[in-house]
């Protein structure tokens, strides 16, 4: 039996059978794992990151508005003093 299994034609036949049967199973398992685990986690992380970025952008825009208003107020006061 061992000599039969060690023959190149028999071992290549078993290798082909295994690869033909295992490859689809492995591909399906990987695809299911990615679909059920990775993509939802990635989507959740991306959504959280976008929310953080939007929050930071709004805060920065508000700071720029405040700085602009402060600068304008100081400029008007400076002109009033000169007049």
pLDDT at 10: 85
**pTM of the predicted model as reported, rounded to 2 decimal places:** 0.57
Q: Domain spans of the chain?
A: 2-82
Q: How does DSSP assign 22-66, residue by residue?
A: HHHHHHHHHHHHIIIIIHHHHHHHHHHHHHHHHHHHHHHHHHHHH
pLDDT in tens, 25-67: 999 999 999 999 999 999 999 999 999 999 999 999 999 999 9
- For residue 1, give the 3-state DSSP assignment: coil
Greater confidence (70 vs 79) lies with 70
- For residue 75, give the 3-state DSSP assignment: helix
pLDDT at 7: 83
pLDDT at 83: 63
Cβ-contact 11, 5 below 8 angstroms: yes
């Amino acid at each position: 039996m061992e000599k039969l299994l060690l023959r190149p034609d028999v071992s290549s036949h078993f290798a082909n059978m295994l690869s033909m049967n295992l490859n689809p199973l492995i591909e399906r398992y990987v695809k299911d794992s990615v679909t059920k685990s990775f993509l939802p986690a990635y989507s959740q992380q991306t959504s959280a990151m976008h929310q953080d970025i939007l929050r930071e952008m709004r805060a920065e825009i508000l700071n720029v508005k405040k700085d602009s208003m402060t600068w304008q107020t100081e400029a008007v006061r400076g002109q009033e003093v000169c007049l």
